[in-house]
Amino acid sequence: METKNVAIVGIENSHAEEIIRYLNVEQPADVPVRVVALVAGEDERTRELAELGGIERIVAASSDLLGSIDALIVTSRDGAQHRAHAVPFLEAGTPVWVDKPLAASVADAQEIVAAAERGGVALTSSSALRWVADTDAVAESLRSIGELQAVTVTGPADASSPHSGIFFYGIHIADVAQRLVPGEPEDIDVQRLPGGVVARYRVDGVLVTLEFIRPDGDGQVPFRATAVGGHGVVGRDIVLGADYVQPGVDAFARMLASGERPIPEAQLLAPIAVLEAVARAEATISV
């Protein structure tokens, strides 16, 4: 396909640097997408990223880019900001990749999805963990353990994060679970742990458990997925390598080439519904 010119808003996120390094510095031949504009953030950070990617166009607001780019990447750390950035572009018919999480509420997530429908354009959003090799390996192993009974996904997350709490890092756990057991969560139950929170729900009879463990002074737990089937068990740590952002960028590039969203709408919304239930329960427990 011809090279697609895209912009990034939310450059405080480390993902922005990795995306620019991959697309503008490494310039893989099979990923003809380039970052040509940035929405300015902190001055030094803006200069660093512009110099890294050879990016000349810096604007004050994402709205300044409407109608002038092929796609928008939203990488703001706080998911509560994502709706404001994404909706105008989607309604104008510009594809958008909303880096994790899609939003920090079900209402915002539904409005982003609806805006894509109104604009007749593709939308994607996911955790980087959805695409990495370890998650692929667990997904492929599910066929070898018989009828799936239960899946547990564990990882670090902090409900007190300044970036919309559990949504900031909890999306990694919730999105991996949705990759392994896709479908609408039923009967979500949330309980507090001594150092975190656990959420349980069912999808078509399969019990899904998400363990959000708050990092302590000595570090954090690894991301891990375990699945129990009728005659076997598989478990694996999910490790993020140095190139962990690249598979998600590749999925975005394929979306731009095909016009087809890489993740079904239901799988975009389901993790947000689970995280909202966790956030609501945490607020109630804390009172």
Spatial contact of 180 and 139, defined as CB atoms under 8 Å apart: yes
pTM: 0.94
- Asked whether the predicted pLDDT for residue 95 surpasses 80, the reply is yes
Encoding tokens for residue 206? 């399969």
- Asked whether the predicted pLDDT for residue 285 surpasses 70, the reply is no
**Minimal CA–CA distance to 210: which of 194, 223, 219, 220?**
223
Mean pLDDT value of segment 19-47: 96
- In whole numbers, what is the pLDDT of the chain averaged over residues? 95
207-264: per-residue pLDDT in tens? Answer: 999 999 999 988 999 999 999 999 999 999 999 888 899 999 999 999 999 999 999 9
- Asked whether the predicted pLDDT for residue 112 surpasses 50, the reply is yes
Q: What are phi and psi of 165, to 5 degrees?
A: 55, -125
pLDDT of residue 201: 98
127-170: per-residue pLDDT in tens? Answer: 999 999 999 999 999 999 999 999 999 999 998 899 999 999 99
Reported confidence tier of residue 287, pLDDT bands at 50, 70, 90: very low
